[in-house]
Structure 1
Amino acid sequence: MSDVADWWRTEIIDMKPGAIRVRGQPIEELIGHVTFPQMIWLMLRGELPAPGAARLLEAALVAAVDHGPQAPSIAVARMAVTCGLPLNGAMASAVNMLDDVHGGAGEQAVELYGLIDAAGGPDAAGDCVDRWTAERSAFVPGFGHRFHKPVDPRAPRLLALVEVAVEEGVCSGVFADIGRAVEAALLARKGKPVPMNIDGATAVIFAELGFPPPLARGLFCLSRSVGILSHAFEQMHQGGRNKGPTPPAYRWTYDGPNPIETKEAD
């Protein structure tokens, strides 16, 4: 049976009838004793985090839960339930929207911070930003916000918690310094402030806690799933049927051949 038993190999969970061990720890000893952020850490890292690290991870998860029904992922969840999907279908549809453009900035910011760290730290921020915009994208991930101006209110609070964690010895503060150095580099280039946003701030936390870039997106998906679930469930109670992205009275712009003539109301 070894060829069958070895089809899947994992260090995450072991089971037999009447027994479940997660990362070697009996599930009944975890239930009621660890928080959900601690459990996430245990699953991903194989060990329980220090209390301060768990609090910092929890703060990042809390900060990113929702950004309103105009966010594409939330809008998709609400539209999905009006089309008859159950909550799990609405959540799956919404999470699938969290890709490189909508949902990927945190992962990209952790990657950028890592490049800066490897290039010498905060002093290398300007050169690395130039390299990023030349080779990857004109958009610097984690900085600036089209809605929250002049400052994304979530970012300063998260950075303040990082400062507390540094004082407590939870993390080094290296990536917080790198994030601030990117802000300074963008100010020098743009001639105006381009403040860190939620993605840049949570990326600081994920990098400080040692999470690699792909997990930054995965953790964001976990966080935003709470908002997705809330909006989908609310829409179920509000009702509605086959709701699209705009009210029916609004029409799209047609710029093809032979447009239909419309008569404006008197």
Structure 2
Amino acid sequence: MSGTADEAALWWATAVSHIEPGSIELRDRPVQELIGSASLVDVIWLLLRGDVPSPRQAALLEAALVAGVDHGPQAPSIAAARMAATCGVGLNNAVATGVNMLGDAHGGAGQQCVEMLTDIRHLRSEGRSWEEAAREAMADWQSRSRYLPGFGHRFHPVDPRRDPLLSLVEEAVSDGTVGGDFLQAALAVETALERRRAGARPVPMNIDGATAVIYAELGFSAPLARGLFVLSRSVGILAHAWEETGQGRRNKGPVPRSVLPARLSQPKNA
């Protein structure tokens, strides 16, 4: 190999995959050995972590991914994808439009919750009780934002995804699949919120909090909690964008033209 070719190979060197004529390896595993034997969840874990999850780990990760796939067209990412799908762009562009809406305020709470739960776990290791650690971390977070990531929901009094996800985590703690510290941290936040808001509407854990518990218990870093949510939500974004392409609308806006003032409802060249 010439010096230039060697330099180019080093420039793109990666442990994730290795490609040569007639050979594709993912984390040193021939792809033909994975096809038909590994699930998509297994391969996600393999590419991110370098090994294969146990069946219980894979089931827990899959549950989190399934829970986050969709939350209806009122979600900005899905609404944006549906509008983009009517604008003459390809399906991939519509999906990218939706994915690119997933930022700190919409899509970032899982990452933020993992960070907060990690703070609580650290404070617990310093000798605080779980509730003391939760209150201290909550105060720190709420000194910067009125919102506690992963708790409360603008639409659901109790997020219907919370209980089944946490039940699976409890089972995983019982059988030794995960340690349980992040679950304890999250439940401590709920307890602290309940005592703070005695008599008021409760603020239970939401989908972001429940999946944050799972991702943290499985050892994924906080940024990957957002990345995994993006993978999950992209499934719903794709489904909505595809449905919209079959509905015949053109240049769909955020509200029906029938509810716009007359002077806005008939654009010259939309």
Q: Give 1:59's aligned residue.
A: 63
How high is the TM-score relative to the length of structure 1? 0.92
Q: Give 2:20's aligned residue.
A: 16
User: Once the 2 structures are TM-superposed, how far is the Cα of residue 15 of structure 1 from its aligned partner?
Assistant: 1.3
1:181-196 alignment runs, 5 A limit: 181-191=188-198, 192=200, 193-196=202-205
Q: Give 1:104's aligned residue.
A: 108
The alignment partner of 2:25 has SS state of: strand
Amino acid at match of 2:236: G
User: Once the 2 structures are TM-superposed, how far is the Cα of residue 164 of structure 1 from its aligned partner?
Assistant: 1.1
Q: Give 1:120's aligned residue.
A: 124
Q: Give 1:211's aligned residue.
A: 220
Q: Give 1:262's aligned residue.
A: none
Q: What are structure 2's unaligned runs of at least 5 residues?
A: 262-270
The alignment partner of 1:230 has SS state of: helix
User: Once the 2 structures are TM-superposed, how far is the Cα of residue 250 of structure 1 from its aligned partner?
Assistant: 2.7
1: CA distance between counterparts of 2:76 and 2:207?
A: 17
How high is the TM-score relative to the length of structure 2? 0.90
Q: Deviations over 1:22-79 (max 9, x none)?
A: 1011100000001111100000000001110000000000000000011100000110
Q: Give 1:198's aligned residue.
A: 207
Q: Deviations over 1:126-178 (max 9, x none)?
A: 111011101x31100000001001x1010111000101111221101111111
Aligned residues: CA RMSD: 1.1
Q: What are structure 1's unaligned runs of at least 5 residues?
A: 253-266
2:241 is aligned with 1:237:
no
Aligned length: 250
1: CA distance between counterparts of 2:219 and 2:54?
A: 13
> Which of 218, 221, 224 is 2:233 aligned to?
224
> Which of 157, 163, 171 is 2:170 aligned to?
163
**Amino-acid identity (%):** 57
Amino acid at match of 2:141: W
Runs of 4+ with deviation above 4 angstroms:
none
User: Once the 2 structures are TM-superposed, how far is the Cα of residue 8 of structure 1 from its aligned partner?
Assistant: 1.6
The alignment partner of 1:203 has SS state of: helix
Q: Give 1:71's aligned residue.
A: 75
User: Once the 2 structures are TM-superposed, how far is the Cα of residue 9 of structure 1 from its aligned partner?
Assistant: 2.1
